[in-house]
Amino acid sequence: MPSVRVTLWNEYVHERTNPDVARIYPEGIHSALKEALLRHGNVEVRTATLAEPEHGLTEEVLRQTDVLTWWGHAAHDDVRDDIIARVHARVLEGMGLIVLHSGHWSKLFKRVMGTSCALCWREAGERERVWVVDPGHPIANGVDHCIELEQSEMYGEPFGIPTPDDIVFISWFQGGEVFRGGCTWRRGSGRVFYFSPGHESYPIYHNPQIQRVIANAVQWAAPQGRAANTPRNTPVESALEPIIARGPSVHDAHGTLTR
Amino acid sequence: MPSVRVTLWNEYVHERTNPDVARIYPEGIHSALKEALLRHGNVEVRTATLAEPEHGLTEEVLRQTDVLTWWGHAAHDDVRDDIIARVHARVLEGMGLIVLHSGHWSKLFKRVMGTSCALCWREAGERERVWVVDPGHPIANGVDHCIELEQSEMYGEPFGIPTPDDIVFISWFQGGEVFRGGCTWRRGSGRVFYFSPGHESYPIYHNPQIQRVIANAVQWAAPQGRAANTPRNTPVESALEPIIARGPSVHDAHGTLTR
Amino acid sequence: MPSVRVTLWNEYVHERTNPDVARIYPEGIHSALKEALLRHGNVEVRTATLAEPEHGLTEEVLRQTDVLTWWGHAAHDDVRDDIIARVHARVLEGMGLIVLHSGHWSKLFKRVMGTSCALCWREAGERERVWVVDPGHPIANGVDHCIELEQSEMYGEPFGIPTPDDIVFISWFQGGEVFRGGCTWRRGSGRVFYFSPGHESYPIYHNPQIQRVIANAVQWAAPQGRAANTPRNTPVESALEPIIARGPSVHDAHGTLTR
Amino acid sequence: MPSVRVTLWNEYVHERTNPDVARIYPEGIHSALKEALLRHGNVEVRTATLAEPEHGLTEEVLRQTDVLTWWGHAAHDDVRDDIIARVHARVLEGMGLIVLHSGHWSKLFKRVMGTSCALCWREAGERERVWVVDPGHPIANGVDHCIELEQSEMYGEPFGIPTPDDIVFISWFQGGEVFRGGCTWRRGSGRVFYFSPGHESYPIYHNPQIQRVIANAVQWAAPQGRAANTPRNTPVESALEPIIARGPSVHDAHGTLTR
């Protein structure tokens, strides 16, 4: 089984501007995730950040990426639209995408979902329990009945997402809310996983169970089949059953739409 | 039961430029659909076309629209991005959306789906059978086992859509293909239905069974609940369970993200 | 819009054997639900209980039932298998089914789901909040962001159900659990809704918001299309496209399987 | 990656009673499938048939089975109910299940689906094309756009199944029908795949593309996580958040339901 080529994308702003965050992730959230993934194995990991040319997401990098993870919060609007379009296209071709925490509000996630991706929130350092509701799912493999996070940001319903294909985790919050915090979708040939824990004020990505979920998700999201997103004209003479064209047309002899 | 306020949007290009199409729909596809919907009842119908100011889709019009239908083919790129964003936002709020035939390739449908919406196609006037695969679905109410269309454009798989919530119709084509031609999704509080028959070279929207499907879909797509897409901060002091804020923060005292 | 013919089925055991339950529902849970549904209107309601001949669910009664609700707890095993098969068949034909609270463990629900329907539970009179996660869903119509139940039985994940078509409600419990307590499925032409609140030790079915949900669900579950569950042989001579039979066969000339 | 332990279950009737079938599968369908799976690798294969004690599906065999395939046609009623219950329980625990062709009408499949599993059919040796509608799905890996079967039994819609999680294949038939012939579901922790091609009158299981699909499905259906189907009482004193029991009860001090 070949190792999965992962690119960890991080906005990398709060780790450099907010001393509390810097203390938890001195080298950035991406570096903490990189270490964690390498420990779980069967991956090759590179990182990319907002400040790099093309945000570190060149055509070349994306072509060599099986699974992309996305963390952003303070600078969603600074991400270039053309790079988003490029990443989106690669997802449809089959690249896996794992969107983390405040990445729910990124241009990329909204575009891939086609919905608001809005939610309720409260930053109070309250207790969260991430419950496994689908124990047979590979992303929940090796995870306890629930992951307890002593301090977390509350994300609450209603969450403006399309019906997920699978809901793997649902979170409980001390202040009284619930949240569908671990969901999957298919987009084109690409697999998408959203995972809500990971507020930068708390050391959530140092939690071994959280790391395990992300490592599982990386394996799950790796491409499985082939891409199929090109519109194709199938000429009459190559129809599988013999047919004869009849009736009027809005296309010319070359199949081009006339106007 | 109040009547459903429908706006029929039509690009209205080929009916004015292609004599074959003009013969079938002398006053435009929208006019044919309007007559059909009025015959089925429980609707108020208005129409809107590309050439009108704001494509006929002002804030005012959309506010008074329960269900919007969308037909376009030759001029997808001429639709203004800001109008698309406006329509998209109304769908998330709860407005129903029915996308017809070549509307699969519209900016609007691609944006709402988040996928390529690509497909295979062939314009040969071949036979199509639209099979009901979900006879208990309200959109299939009163429709025979299959709708036979003597001449149709072939649309074939793979169709670049997300997993539908419901597949109501699957089409068979004489040339050997199949197509998921009648599918539903939820987007925010809005219901979306895509229905593939309706090529402008053939009199498909004059078929009573096709009209019945669209009339059913209009009733099905009418708003059912409330919109819920505004991100909301839930302050600590109004948490449902009493909690006390603790730990560091990336927000200031007013809940605004610092950077 | 014709009124929906509802049959409220109740085991009706604990209301007669447990004084605490009798105090809350002196005439049975079914009577409390009947009053509530009649108040919301557009229904004809009858009731049926375990002790009646054929549990009150004769062929005749079921034929005249659009939506059946099911409450049971202490006597699941006393329900006759042939009656379960009869109810199941009617669901596939299009009758709506609303399974309430401990009905999750009934023969009927397990049979309709095809899964264990198991869950975690605790009877401690703790606080429950039933969150609306799908505000645009007709079953959530008129319901607040969440329904607060001061005393409830905890039902927790993992809940042994198939992937729901829609999740309308997710519950939060004071003791730390979450639960997918309001889910829908399609089975044949029938619509199924499971709603978890309703423990008999607490006056939950007297809560107006809970009543509203059940009244909404009754309207939502009413039959929408036609039944389609009979296996049918389509003889060669009546194929839609002309074909000629060729090759060997395991059926005789009358289409009967040989052995 | 450990090899997947597969048990191929076959009714094994028509291969011994019908000379046409015997010519195609002289040692039974199970033997043909066994050879094919071994060629694709990463499996250990055993077979089991109706005539064996306990139909070859002892507790021991099932415990050592990761994925079970099921083929039956002439003798569905001869399968013992207790064996079906045993197999069903193993699926919920996580064993994969692949139901082939006429197995759609088996006790097992109906029980696992909770629906009629009925369909339309015609045995005329007509042409079938099995279209890939989900090219990114692992079960479609390495399969062409469509698999052409020169002779096949027609299976047509409506097919009495619950909404599939994924539809991987849809079939086209020469006589004019379509069929959702390759579908997946989750049941408990088990993955289920139904694949319609495989009528015993034609050499369909000798087709390399059909073999490829079944080999892919075996890998896809292998258990991925843990089983979770035991109802569990969570006593008050071990609640994750400290709570105090209050209010009346229908359980005694040991958590047993009173009546």
Structure confidence by residue, pLDDT tens digits, B136-159: 999 999 999 999 999 999 999 999
Quote the percentage of chain A above a pLDDT of 90.
86
C221 by Cβ neighbours in 10 Å (0-12 / 13-18 / 19+) ranks as buried
DSSP class of D211: H
Q: Do A116 and B88 touch, CB atoms closer than 8 A? A: no
DSSP class of A142: T
Q: Which residues of B touch C174 (CB under 8 A)?
A: 241
DSSP class of C78: G
**pLDDT tens for each residue of D203-259:** 999 999 999 999 999 999 999 988 876 778 888 888 899 999 888 888 887 778 887
Mean pLDDT calculated for residue range A120-140: 96
DSSP class of A109: H
Q: Which residues of A touch C157 (CB under 8 A)?
A: 131-133, 170
Looking at residue B13, its amino acid is V
A40 has pLDDT over 70: yes
A259 and B231 within 8 Å at the Cβ level: the answer is: no
Q: Report the residue from A18, A120, A165 with minimal CB separation from B250.
A: A18
Q: Could you give phi then psi for residue C19, rounded to 5 degrees?
A: -60, -35
B250 and A113 within 8 Å at the Cβ level: the answer is: no
- How many helices and strands, by DSSP H and E, does chain A display? 7, 10
Q: Hey, where are the domains in chain D?
A: 4-221
Q: Which residues of D touch B178 (CB under 8 A)?
A: 129, 131, 133, 170-172, 178
Q: Which residues contact C208 (CB under 8 A, 6 or more apart)?
A: none
Q: How confident is the model at residue C229 (pLDDT cuts 50, 70, 90)?
A: low
Q: Which residues contact A52 (CB under 8 A, 6 or more apart)?
A: none
- Averaged pLDDT, groups of 10, chain D, 259 residues long: 93 94 97 97 97 98 98 97 98 97 98 96 95 97 95 96 97 97 97 97 97 98 84 85 89 81
A259 has pLDDT over 90: no
Q: How confident is the model at residue A255 (pLDDT cuts 50, 70, 90)?
A: confident
Strands (E) across B11-143 are located at 43-49, 67-71, 96-100, 120-132
Q: CA of A175, closest CA in chain C: separation in Å?
A: 10
B228 and C136 within 8 Å at the Cβ level: the answer is: yes
Q: What is the pLDDT of residue A35?
A: 98
Chains touching B (at least 3 CB pairs under 8 A) are A, C, D
Q: Which residues of B touch D131 (CB under 8 A)?
A: 156-157, 177-178
A178 and C163 within 8 Å at the Cβ level: the answer is: no
Residue B228 corresponds to which tokens in the numbers above? Answer: 């819920």
> How far is Cα of residue A74 from the mean position of the Cα atoms in its chain?
18
Q: Report the residue from D136, D226, D227 with minimal CB separation from A226.
A: D136
Question: What's the distance, Cα to Cα, between the start and end of chain D in Å?
Answer: 51
Q: Which residues of A160-180 are buried (b: 16+ CB within 10 A; e: fewer)?
A: bbbbbbbbbbbbbbbbbbbbb
Q: Which residues of A221-239 are buried (b: 16+ CB within 10 A; e: fewer)?
A: bbbbbbbbbeeeebebeeb
CA gyration radius for chain A?
A: 21
Give the DSSP per-residue string, B154-196: EEESPP--PPPSEEEEEEEETTS-EEEEEEEEEETTEEEEEE-
Q: Locate the chain C residue with the closest alpha carbon to A146.
A: C177
Q: Do B198 and B100 touch, CB atoms closer than 8 A? A: yes
**pLDDT tens for each residue of C43-82:** 999 999 999 999 999 999 999 999 999 999 999 999 999 9
Distance between CA C71 and CA C108 in Å, rounded? 11
Q: Do B191 and C102 touch, CB atoms closer than 8 A? A: no
Closest CA to B169 of B201, B197, B149: B197
A106 has pLDDT over 80: yes
A246 and B124 within 8 Å at the Cβ level: the answer is: yes
Q: Which residues of A touch C177 (CB under 8 A)?
A: 131, 172
Q: Do D182 and D135 touch, CB atoms closer than 8 A? A: no
D224 and A137 within 8 Å at the Cβ level: the answer is: yes
Model-wide pTM > 0.90: yes
A153 by Cβ neighbours in 10 Å (0-12 / 13-18 / 19+) ranks as buried
Q: Which residues of A touch C118 (CB under 8 A)?
A: none
Is C4-221 in CATH node 3.40.50.880?
Answer: yes
Q: Chain D residues contacting B, CB < 8 Å?
A: 129, 131-135, 146, 156-159, 163, 165-167, 170-173, 176-178, 180
**pLDDT tens for each residue of B205-216:** 999 999 999 999
DSSP class of A163: P
A172 and C177 within 8 Å at the Cβ level: the answer is: yes
Q: Report the residue from A136, A166, A224 with minimal CB separation from D138.
A: A224
Q: Report the residue from B140, B141, B240 with minimal CB separation from C129.
A: B240
Distance between CA A36 and CA C17 in Å, rounded? 57
> CB atoms < 10 A from the CB of C255, how many?
14
